[in-house]
Amino acid sequence: MMRVLVRLTGLAAAAILALLVPGALSAQDSTATKNHLYDKFQVGAAFSTVINNSNMRLDGSDGRGTELKFRDRLGIDGSTIQPAIGLRWKPGRRTEFSVGYQFLNQSGEKSTSADSIVIGDNTLSGDISLNSKVGADNATFQFKYSILAAERHNIGLAIGFGAIFFDVSFDGSASVCNGTECAGGDFDYSNSVTGPTASLGAFGRWRLGDSWYVGGDVRGIGAKVDRYDFSVFEGDAVVQYFLSDRWGLDLSWYYTDVSVDVGAKDDATAAEDLIGKISFNYSSLRLGVIAAF
């Protein structure tokens, strides 16, 4: 009798377990880790180590200007820590809008007596002592459309627009010639320009496991807008790890190569306006946090 009861109890337990397991698995699926490929919103903030190989040429009214490499000519550090922020919005499974802003402000000091330097309508010579401050913040806006939108990958095309907010200021001492007049003493110069950018390319993101994500973007274009003749190449590689459905960590590498030739306005002279060529070539390694909604 006891054996019969034990057997019946075992069969009953097995039946109950058979009934409960699918429900348990269903409940587990309903609480599965969120797929962050398709978050409605993502907000990110990061500190980036920027390795800067940029240079510029600030032409005078006669069309002359000296190429000023940030590191060699201006004494600006080759690497610096800068903040970056970004926002991503997906109104649908295949559509995405994103904005980003990379801060880039640097300063340097350089003394030389080897040759002359032409900055705008000023020619510096003799014992030149130059303090430089250069700002080149980069704002970007992108629209992305997914061609392949699956649970484990999201691949598509991207079009981007943006602007480089460039400003520069110099102060120091030198023998300064402006036209035919030369004098020794203090020197100062400042100017700014906002250069437009645009790009076309592709992107891809992949989900590896429950919490790991990798991705990358490649974009580029060349165009002329008003007095700005520019070329753009941008790329990035990203690794993300989500600690929860809300918070994640981001490690990424960005490469930016933007060249902008700035022509003179029809009603302005070089003394009043910035003309010349500005080449931004830098890469950055970013470490940041992500908030997903």
3-state secondary structure string across the chain? CHHHHHHHHHHHHHHHHHHHHHHHHHHHHHCCCCCHHHCCEEEEEEEEEEEECCEEEECCCCCCCCEEECCCCCCECCEEEEEEEEEEECCCCCEEEEEEEECCEEEEEEEECCCCEEECCEEEEEEEEEEEEEEEEEEEEEEEEEEEECCCEEEEEEEEEEEEEEEEEEEEEEEEEECCEEEEEEEEEEEEEEEEEEEEEEEEEEEECCCEEEEEEEEEEEEEECCEEEEEEEEEEEEEEECCCCEEEEEEEEEEEEEEEECCCCCCCCCCCCCEEEEEEEEEEEEEEEEEC
* Residue 268 in this model has a pLDDT that exceeds 60: no
14 and 68 assigned to the same domain: no
Query: Is the full-model pTM beyond 0.75?
Result: yes
83 and 2 assigned to the same domain: no
Q: Tell me, what's the pLDDT at 4?
A: 38
Q: Tell me, what's the pLDDT at 114?
A: 63
84 and 172 assigned to the same domain: yes
What is the band of 107 on the pLDDT scale with cuts at 50, 70, 90?
Answer: very high
215 and 284 assigned to the same domain: yes
Q: What's 185's domain CATH number? A: 2.40.128.90
9 and 76 assigned to the same domain: no
Tokens, residue 197: 């950018």
150 and 274 assigned to the same domain: yes
* Residue 24 in this model has a pLDDT that exceeds 50: no
Average the pLDDT over 150-177 and give the result: 91
162 and 18 assigned to the same domain: no
How does the average pLDDT of the chain come out, rounded?
84
Least confident of 131-145, 198-212, 214-228: 214-228
12 and 79 assigned to the same domain: no
pLDDT tens sequence across 143-154: 999 999 999 999
pLDDT tens sequence across 37-95: 999 999 999 999 998 888 888 888 777 888 888 888 888 888 899 999 999 999 999 99
Q: Tell me, what's the pLDDT at 180?
A: 67
116 and 147 assigned to the same domain: yes
| Burial classification of residue 95, based on how many CB atoms lie within 10 Å of its CB (0-12 exposed, 13-18 middle, 19 or more buried) | middle
112 and 19 assigned to the same domain: no
What is the band of 157 on the pLDDT scale with cuts at 50, 70, 90?
Answer: very high
The number of distinct structural domains making up the chain is 2
What is the band of 158 on the pLDDT scale with cuts at 50, 70, 90?
Answer: very high
39 and 150 assigned to the same domain: yes
Q: Residue 11 carries which side chain, given as an amino acid letter?
A: L
* Residue 270 in this model has a pLDDT that exceeds 50: no
17 and 134 assigned to the same domain: no
Higher pLDDT, 272 or 181: 181
Q: Tell me, what's the pLDDT at 165?
A: 92
Which domain covers residue 3, as residue numbers?
1-32
pLDDT tens sequence across 253-266: 999 998 888 887 76
